[in-house]
Chain A
Amino acid sequence: MNSFKAYFSSLIPVRNLFWKKKAPNFGVYKIVDPGKVSLRRLVPDHIPKPSYYRTGEPTENVCYPEIKNEKQIHQMRLSCKLAANILQKVEKNIKIGKTTDEIDVEVFNMCIASGAYPSPLNYKNFPKSVCTSVNNVACHGIPDDRPLHDGDIINVDITVFYEGYHGDCSKTFLIGNVDNEGRNLVKATETCLNEAINICKPGKKFNEIGTCIEDTAYKLGYRVVPAFLGHGIGCYFHGPPDIYHVTNNYPGRMEAGMTFTIEPILTQGGYLIEILEDNWTAVTADSARTAQFEHTVLITDSGVEILTLPD
């Protein structure tokens, strides 16, 4: 018989290459498709604008993770607290039937009322002021006319630009009666974020965050979506260091004065994601649900401080 042995390998370093399994138990939920996006909102003149306001492209060029001085850290505390407070108000007002566009209006108005600019607006031409990612949308969901259904899980990702500094945080909320699979996913994601924050301190390698999150997620039965990273933050929205949420060998160590975000996305299914035609919305290829939590943290002399905590 003219046959031969075919032999394939997976490349190193191997991450959790979880394939598109026939999902046994993703649970009960609605698969989300993009809806109709409303017109872009106009920001009043008196609000200080970030560098990318006109063109969509940021002009900052940050080469190394920034070590911030006392004044900069003080400003970071202000913008991060504002972001956290806005997120808290969104949590209070969120309910079944509310459209993600209505959440966008709320966030936009709250930013303007506080004298802040909603950072996502026109960042690389993102059309809205907040990212709303429901169920199978992994992240960068665009607010539209879809109402929230009973059983949805929604991540609301808020970033504000206040007095020249960005503050970034997000949470995944449970809408109505969410099934056990959904609840466990959301809880696991928050656990992963907290575990990762707890290991942060001066001298720790950035890449240990990824190992910590991936190991914790794996033990709880989930995969991490590797495509999206945390980032350094300050006067610029995104900059070094790159914070991977999977095992990696990104170089560099944490130092006191650095501020960056940790924002793992966990999924019930495979780690493949697709970017839709709007060039933003990231959905899981197997339509599994995802959850995400995010904080902006500051590395202090002795350890770490979460900046995005509400009053």
Chain B
Amino acid sequence: MSQLKEKSIQNRRCNGWRKTLNESLHEIAVEEAVRLKEKKLASEIIAVSCGPAQAQEVLRTALAMGVDKGIHVEVTGPEYETLQPIHVSKILAKIAQNEKADLVIVGKQAIDDDCNQTAQMTAAVLDWPQATYASKIEKGDNEITVTREIDGGLETIKCKLPAKAKKKPIQKLTPKDLGVDTSPRIQIVSVEDPPTREAGVILPDVDALIGKLKEGGHI
């Protein structure tokens, strides 16, 4: 009997309806991008895939789904084994800059390491606004409205867009071409439990709050 790894891609069928458990899918990212293009809000969609030769397959299918151009960043062997989200985010940032992209949509988590860091790091490297855990994207003039899934429900935020656009099949690059150093960055030193939180204080009114903040030197 095989052991089921919960974190990987799977759906659970509830009452006959498919309910997506884990959005490690770029599939969702692709669908969203194609939808934006259909609504004429996006002029060009570029798919990027990092990895060994097999990573090209996803690009071919993405092209079939309506993506305009694919970029395969070839990373193989030992370099691939030590590839971390920080390297990927730098690769993505560089490509985004080269291609003069306005919006980067990233799937949430990968099958095995579940890091959920790449999107945030890419945004940091580019110094772009970011909206994570997006479930819906709508575009206005020079800004987009993103509906985010957070603990406790949905949050809607608006982000300003940076710049503008242009168009072709699969281009192959290596991390060196993009000037990204892929030497291993992480060494696991120790694993500890988080420190216990101190209890909070409930204050009666705004004046008391201001007083407390002044006391603590926060204002």
Contacts and interface: CB of A to CB of B under 8 A. Distances in A.
B75 to A, nearest CB: 8
Interface string A1-30: 111111111111111111111000000000
Interface stretch (A68-76, A96-104, A274-282): A274-282
A272 B111 CA distance: 11
Contacts of A271: 9
A21 B61 contact: yes
A6 B8 contact: no
Nearest to A218: B54
Contacts of A9: 26, 29, 47-50, 92, 104-107, 118
Contacts, number: 225
A274 B104 contact: no
Q: How large is the interface on B (under 10, 10 to 19, 20 to 34, 35 or more residues)?
A: 35 or more
Given A14-B55, A226-B111, A231-B3, A8 B10 contact: no
B8 A227 contact: yes
B110 interface: yes
A13 B55 CA distance: 9
A8 to B, nearest CB: 4
B30 interface: yes
B9 A226 contact: yes
Interface string A259-279: 000010100000111111100
Contacts of A10: 26, 29, 47-50, 55, 58, 107
A277 to B, nearest CB: 6
B41 to A, nearest CB: 6
A207 to B, nearest CB: 8
B58 A14 contact: yes
Contacts of A255: none
Contacts of A246: 111-112
Nearest to B14: A277
Interface in B151-199: 161, 164-166
A238 B2 CA distance: 9
Interface string A194-218: 0000000000000000000011001
Interface in A230-278: 230-231, 237-238, 242, 244, 246-250, 263, 265, 271-277
A228 interface: yes
A234 to B, nearest CB: 14
Nearest to B11: A274
B209 interface: no
A300 B7 CA distance: 32
A123 interface: yes
A4 B41 contact: yes
Contacts of A65: none
Given A4-B164, A5-B100, A6-B102, A12 B11 contact: no
A85 B41 CA distance: 62
A85 B35 CA distance: 55
A5 B43 contact: yes
Interface string A102-133: 00000000000000000110010010000100
B165 A18 contact: no
Q: How large is the interface on A (under 10, 10 to 19, 20 to 34, 35 or more residues)?
A: 35 or more
Nearest to B36: A6
Contacts of A248: 112
Contacts of A159: 1
Contacts of A214: 54
Interface string B25-53: 01101101100110011111111111110
A152 interface: no
Interface of B: 1-5, 8-15, 18, 24, 26-27, 29-30, 32-33, 36-37, 40-52, 54-55, 57-58, 61-62, 64-65, 67, 75, 80-81, 83, 85, 87-88, 92, 96, 99-107, 109-113, 118, 139, 141, 161, 164-166
29 contacts: A3-B43, A4-B42, A4-B102, A5-B42, A5-B45, A5-B164, A6-B36, A7-B33, A7-B103, A8-B29, A8-B48, A10-B47, A10-B49, A10-B107, A12-B118, A14-B49, A15-B110, A19-B27, A119-B1, A140-B4, A168-B1, A231-B3, A244-B112, A247-B52, A247-B80, A273-B9, A274-B10, A274-B13, A285-B11
Given A12-B118, A13-B112, A275-B12, 19 more contacts: A1-B43, A5-B45, A6-B45, A8-B29, A9-B26, A10-B47, A10-B55, A12-B50, A14-B49, A16-B54, A119-B1, A215-B54, A227-B5, A228-B3, A231-B2, A238-B3, A244-B112, A246-B112, A277-B15
